[in-house]
Amino acid sequence: MEFAGSHILSVDQFERGDVERIFSVADQLEPYARRRRRTRVLEGAILGAMFFEPSTRTRVSFGSAFNLLGGEVRETTGFEQSAIAKGESLYDTARVLSGYSDVIAMRHPTAGSVAEFAAASRVPVINGGDGSNEHPSQALLDLYTIGRELAGRDRSIDQLRIAMVGDLRYGRTVHSLCKLLCLFDRVQVVLVSPGELRMPEGIVDELRAAGHEVLESDALEASIAHVDIVYSTRIQEERFQSQAEADLYRGRFRLNQSIYTRHCEPNTVIMHPLPRDSRDSARELDDDLNDNPNLAIFRQTDNGLTVRMALFALILDVVDQVEKHATAVTWYVGGRTP
């Protein structure tokens, strides 16, 4: 695809070569993300960060990624703070706000709304999550992390074995990740969820049409025995009709160190898009895994910064200028090893 000026709305828009291009730009930008170099390549550019649903990581990492390239960030959070609360349409908001920014990152609770906004925007829009539909930048950083975790282990994204666990019905990160995996070869996917929260049929069909082996299960322990990656997810309680309904499923699948030791192959990588639900009633990834070197959740968040920097550099077409605007970092940067 042509990245310059493009919206990033769904992983459906990528071919394998596009994903590989994003990953190679991310590799190139890693020294800037890790504060070994700095660049002012986007000096003067403005990111409009519009988050109409709770977000910490995605919002802050989009903002920090833009800052690390030298740009400025303007934030709008919550419907109450925006003119949408006065009845303004997405069309009008998009027309107005795209006049103030060079690129927009947006999250919205309604599936399809970010695409609707993008259609009226005069600048590129990145989908930071639209309802239970998609979360393309998360899927890219997840896949980038998978590739890096497996490097040096004689395993790769082709022929990957992955278990996705939890709320596969409403979890947008797993929807996008499955679609991205369709670009690779001979993947084995074990989908572990309560029957009511299964992966949407259309996505399972897409995986099978890509030639992947798909198993569906509601039993955690047997499903994580022969995989490279366990990708755990939170019950998306904000998408349920009632709290009581969400409570039926919370805590159903809990991975802790003892289950890991008994059932997983050595070095199985543990991932989660975060936030993990650490309340006693949930604990899908127990805190006792924190010292497990295969817990990759904080490497995922670090990689999120790099991948989002890559998206901005590609969309705003400055990949080849990053180096020209680079200088040394002069402040204390110790303690940054992942």
* Pick 39 or 236: Cβ nearer ligand ASP: 236
Q: What is the residue whose two structure tokens read 């950083």?
A: 141
Whole-angstrom CA distances from 156 to 137, 151, 163, 228, 233 are 20, 7, 15, 9, 22
Among 108, 172, 212, 283, interactor with ligand ASP by CB under 6 A: 172
Structural tokens at position 97: 């706000």
Q: H/E element holding 204?
A: helix 201-209
Q: Is position 86 annotated as part of the catalytic site? A: yes
DSSP state of 248: T
CB of 331 to ligand ASP, least distance (A): 30
User: Which of 34, 40, 57, 161 is the catalytic position?
Assistant: 57
Kindly tell me which of 164 and 318 has the beta carbon lying closer to ligand ASP.
164
Both tokens of residue 17? 């070569």
Give strand pairing partners of 328.
37
Sequence letter at residue 274: L
Site residues for ligand ASP, 130-149, by CB under 6 A, read 135
Which residue is catalytic, options 7, 107, 155, 250?
107
**Nearest residue (CB) to ligand ASP, 101 versus 301:** 301
C-alpha–C-alpha distance, residues 329 and 323, integer Å:
14
Nearer to ligand ASP, 199 or 319 (CB): 199
* Nearest distance in Å: CB 325, ligand ASP: 31
User: Which tokens in the block code for residue 251?
Assistant: 């805590």
* In the complex, minimum distance from the CB of residue 55 to ligand ASP, in angstroms, rounded to a whole number: 6
**Least CB distance from residue 135 to ligand ASP, whole Å?**
5
Query: What's the CA dihedral at 155, 156, 159, 164 to 10 degrees?
Result: 100
Q: 245: Cβ–Cβ under 8 A, 6 or more apart, which residues?
A: none
Q: Which of 86, 262, 327, 330 is catalytic?
A: 86
Nearer to ligand ASP, 155 or 234 (CB): 234
**Closest CB 177 distance from ligand ASP, rounded Å:** 11
CB-based contact 271:145 (threshold 8 Å)? yes
Place of tokens 């039926």: 248
Q: Radius of gyration (Cα) for the chain, nearest Å?
A: 20
Whether residue 58 lies in the annotated active site: yes
Number of residues that bind ligand ASP (CB under 6 A): 8
Axis crossing angle, helix 172-181 with helix 201-209, rounded to the nearest 10: 20
**Count of C-beta atoms within a 10 Å radius of residue 72:** 15
CB closer to ligand ASP, 38 vs 234:
234
Catalytic residue among 7, 38, 59, 135: 135
The residues in 246-285 that bind ligand ASP, with binding defined as CB under 6 A, are 273-274
324 part of the active site:
no
Shortest spacing between CB 276 and ligand ASP, in angstroms: 8
Which of 173, 176, 223, 303 is close enough to bind ligand ASP by CB under 6 A? 173
Q: Quick one: 179 or 234, whose CB is closer to ligand ASP?
A: 234
Among 38, 234, 250, 308, binds ligand ASP (CB under 6 A): 234
| Location of structure tokens 């930071």 | 128
The catalytic position among 7, 38, 39, 58 is 58
Phi-psi region of 251 (alpha: psi -120 to 50; beta: other; left: phi over 0): left
The verdict on whether 59 is a catalytic residue reads no
- Cβ of residue 39: shortest distance to ligand ASP, in angstroms? 28
Work out whether 129 is an interface residue with ligand ASP (CB under 6 A): yes
Exposure of 230 in the CB half-sphere (CA atoms within 13 A)? 30
Active site residues: 57-58, 86, 107, 135
Binding site for ligand ASP (CB under 6 A): 129, 135, 172-173, 234, 236, 273-274
